[in-house]
Structure 1
Amino acid sequence: MIDKRVLPLAIGGLGIGTTEFSIMGLLPDIARSMNVTIPEAGHFISAYALGVVVGAPLLIGYSVKYPPKKVLLALMILFTLFNGLSAITSNYTNMMIARFLSGLPHGAFFGVGTVVASQLAGKGKEARYISLMFSGLTIANLAMVPLVTFVGHTFGWRWYFIIVTLIGLITLLSLYWWLPNIKSQQKASIQEELRFLKNGQFWYVFLLASIGFGGLFAWFSYITPLMTIVAGFSPQTMAYIMVLAGSGMVVGNLIGGFLADNMGATKTTAWLLFAMMIALTCVFLFSSYKIPALFLTFVCGGLSMSTAAPVNIMMMKASPGSEMMGAAFMQAAFNIANSAGAFLGGIPLEYGYSYNYPSLVGVGMTLIGLAICTSFFLKYNSPKLIKT
């Protein structure tokens, strides 16, 4: 049975995942409504990602001295408010501002939530509890994104933000009722909180996430043309294909947490990166065949979330005494990986190559991540760190 104390964190992840990923399927609707081009509407995605990168360390830095429950409530109030404002905004400039503000609490919520989940867990179950928190993000991709996209297309894109706002309100209630009061264990100033930036372990993990995980974003950013043009599926089937990818994310997230608790976070991350490299190579080679393409969609979806728990454990160990700030920087790293993967994966397309070539770029990025992870293990593989 799932510990109900961690459910508010999962529900919050559901809301964050829904607002982050649903907009991609509704960009044409929003663009028409605001009289802008689709590429201009794509700036709303970038504005949200920028908000995540800025907000994660900034909000954590000013909140670590307060009890985590109060911090999570405050962050979810901001999330709910700004998504509510997005539902009523009527022009490009206001939407850019609203999306940036909506992104501010994202990284901080997961940063605080990661530490809270590890504290709620029994010894040896930390990664599993962190994976339970991220299960909300995976369920968003499995169920909420297709549902919200359908509702937005049918009844208007503003319903997308209304639904996210309602999830935010439900998260607030569940945080208030179910999350126990946990005392803040961090009394440092912002300057002291950032001392871990001088720690070489932090930079290994940060670069590992920023580069290595970009490989899967290179694949996922172009999954629609990959499956419709290369694999030959009709555009009408993409909703079902995205559900398949979301199913993989749910399964992979739970498996990653289980493996990290039993194998250690660093070893688990290294093996999963190796698996990513093999899977992306297979995407490049076999995506023109429908059945293998579907199978690889599930596998790559699973691998995309399987590393969430182990790499967050690595980051918390690399930022002792500043775990929340470290976890917040991890969210910034994931968003850097998202942007880098999409940008670098698009370069072969600009030169006229097929839509399976972004996955080949992903292989290279994942290989770099694996090299960084291996170097980390060899450099810090002391008796004290053998379990990391």
Structure 2
Amino acid sequence: MPLAVYILGLAIFAQGTSELMLAGLLPEMAADLHVSVPGAGLLISAFALGMLVGAPVLAVATLRWPRRTALLTFMVVFVLSHIVGALTSSYGVVFATRVVGAFVYAGFWAVAASTAVGLVPANARGKAMSVLAGGLTVATIIGLSLGTVIGQHLGWRASFWAVAALSALAGLGVLATIPGGRPSGAAPRVSDELRSMGSPRLWLSYGTTALTTGALLASFSYLSVLLVGTTGLAPAWVPAVLALYGVGSLIGITIGGRIADARPFPTLYVGVTGLVVTSVALALGASATVPAIALIFLLGAFGFGTNPALNTRVFSLAKDAPTLAAAVNVSSFNVGITVGPWLGGLAIEAGLGYPSVAWIGAAIGVLSLATVALSAALHRSTAAETSEVLSRV
């Protein structure tokens, strides 16, 4: 695996820490910016909004740029957005910097994904994507807790400065390791990429990405309140359990990255089925401490085990649109990130209890399994038709 792929993973870790750390900084930010805690929580929504829109827009806007130029431009804007956020005392300015930072972070994700798979052979794409997405997994384990600790002891602005510094360091790594100039071959054209995006199988794959992510996030978003309110765990132990979830995620994405290229559909079947079964078991056993903790570990492992297959499949379905295909896939992840917690919140507000979010996750997971089965059937049909044509020739 080229060093450049690990540098891209480091950049995702730095930027992903910013995405995650606000969950632990909301009380401090609310008090300092003179807004309510729910008002501060809207800063998380602002980040999701920026990512949802940023990936496809920036992928098209920078399509003909050298990839190193695009990546560095995104990182410079990301760093500046955090510096401005750390210096201001205005809630509105912080809100704007979250949108801008997420916007370019999404663009970085899209270009980094196409860059990573372009640096390795076709049979190593899953592993490359597991390294890239592994940066976000490590951010879940280390970045979230470290950003929270820094914010609690030195103020939330110190966390913003730390993210800016780490992102700048990763930017230097990008400058040193990512090849300059455009990739070999003809310069990409937006019309060609858009034409390649018309495949129904590709959009079905995006549906799998959104549904699988929604199935995971429906439960994950409320694990803290589930552990305290239903399992009866002391709040002081919640970070440790969430770190265990992160360890499971890292193990899952590592295993998935090693088998996704050769066996994409079995990877998805096992991962999504495991996610459904684990969600059901969590809904039924959330009140028992040890089983609940073990199930949360498995939730991370199965949920993230599908990630490499979800990422690499779009490149095989849109060979002529690698950047735009990756960009829309980033948006698909963020659709799941938005819809899953929203549906879980509706269940809680309806008085169904915290375990209900796991039932919501299981239901979404069943829908995801249906899209995987349909995708596999279409793949077999296409392969059979191709084989028949070749035999005639």
What's the TM-score bracket when you normalise by the shorter of the two chains?
over 0.9
Deviates more, 1:285-294 or 1:300-309: 300-309
- Give the total of aligned pairs: 384
| Structure 1 partner of 2:346 | 347
Q: Deviations over 1:320-340 (max 9, x none)?
A: 211111111111111110110
Letter in 1 for 2:167: G
- Given that residues 186 and 321 in structure 1 are in contact (C-alpha distance below 8 angstroms), is that contact kept between their aligned partners in structure 2? no
Distance 1:145 1:191, change over 3 A: same
Distance 2:124 2:188 in 1: 27
- Given that residues 55 and 105 in structure 1 are in contact (C-alpha distance below 8 angstroms), is that contact kept between their aligned partners in structure 2? yes
- Given that residues 213 and 369 in structure 1 are in contact (C-alpha distance below 8 angstroms), is that contact kept between their aligned partners in structure 2? no
- Given that residues 196 and 202 in structure 1 are in contact (C-alpha distance below 8 angstroms), is that contact kept between their aligned partners in structure 2? no
Letter in 1 for 2:262: N
| Structure 2 partner of 1:320 | 319
Pairwise CA distance, 1:187: 2.9
Pairwise CA distance, 1:186: 6.2
Q: Deviations over 1:1-53 (max 9, x none)?
A: x6322121011110121000100111111111111111111111111111111
Unaligned runs of 5+ in 2: 387-393
Letter in 2 for 1:39: P
- Given that residues 212 and 367 in structure 1 are in contact (C-alpha distance below 8 angstroms), is that contact kept between their aligned partners in structure 2? no
* 1:223 and 2:242 matched: no
Distance 1:35 1:310, change over 3 A: same
Letter in 2 for 1:91: S
SS in 2 for 1:227: helix
The aligned runs of 1:132-281 (5 Å cut-off) are 132-181=131-180, 183-184=182-183, 185=185, 187-263=187-263, 265-281=264-280
| Structure 2 partner of 1:337 | 336
Letter in 1 for 2:253: N
- Given that residues 149 and 160 in structure 1 are in contact (C-alpha distance below 8 angstroms), is that contact kept between their aligned partners in structure 2? yes
SS in 2 for 1:36: coil
Deviates more, 1:215-224 or 1:84-93: 84-93
| Structure 2 partner of 1:307 | 306
Distance 1:192 1:54 in 2: 21
Distance 1:294 1:385, change over 3 A: farther
Pairwise CA distance, 1:385: 10
| Structure 2 partner of 1:25 | 24
Q: 4+ residue stretches of structure 1 with deviation over 6 A?
A: none
Distance 1:224 1:186, change over 3 A: farther
Distance 1:188 1:257 in 2: 28
Q: Deviations over 1:105-164 (max 9, x none)?
A: 122212111122112223411100111111111111111210110110111011111111
Distance 1:173 1:153 in 2: 29
Deviates more, 1:122-131 or 1:154-163: 122-131
Q: Deviations over 1:280-326 (max 9, x none)?
A: 11111112111111111111112232222111111112222111111
Pairwise CA distance, 1:190: 3.0
Q: Deviations over 1:69-91 (max 9, x none)?
A: 22111111111111221111212
Pairwise CA distance, 1:354: 1.8
Q: Deviations over 1:326-358 (max 9, x none)?
A: 111111111110110001011221121221110
Pairwise CA distance, 1:182: 6.1
Pairwise CA distance, 1:267: 2.9
- Given that residues 15 and 140 in structure 1 are in contact (C-alpha distance below 8 angstroms), is that contact kept between their aligned partners in structure 2? yes
| Structure 2 partner of 1:78 | 77
Distance 1:9 1:384 in 2: 38
Distance 1:111 1:351 in 2: 37
Letter in 2 for 1:349: I
| Structure 2 partner of 1:375 | 374
Distance 1:19 1:186 in 2: 36
| Structure 1 partner of 2:128 | 129
Deviates more, 1:181-190 or 1:248-257: 181-190
- Given that residues 206 and 330 in structure 1 are in contact (C-alpha distance below 8 angstroms), is that contact kept between their aligned partners in structure 2? yes
* 1:44 and 2:33 matched: no
SS in 2 for 1:125: helix
Distance 1:350 1:197 in 2: 39
- Given that residues 86 and 98 in structure 1 are in contact (C-alpha distance below 8 angstroms), is that contact kept between their aligned partners in structure 2? yes
Deviates more, 1:173-182 or 1:305-314: 173-182
Unaligned runs of 5+ in 1: none
- Given that residues 271 and 305 in structure 2 are in contact (C-alpha distance below 8 angstroms), is that contact kept between their aligned partners in structure 1? yes
Letter in 2 for 1:120: L
TM-score after normalising by structure 1: 0.95
Deviates more, 1:119-128 or 1:130-139: 119-128
The aligned runs of 1:70-109 (5 Å cut-off) are 70-109=69-108
Pairwise CA distance, 1:365: 0.4
TM-score after normalising by structure 2: 0.94
- Given that residues 230 and 355 in structure 1 are in contact (C-alpha distance below 8 angstroms), is that contact kept between their aligned partners in structure 2? yes
Pairwise CA distance, 1:383: 2.6
Deviates more, 1:206-215 or 1:359-368: 206-215
Pairwise CA distance, 1:241: 1.3
Letter in 2 for 1:363: A
Pairwise CA distance, 1:189: 3.6
Letter in 2 for 1:159: A
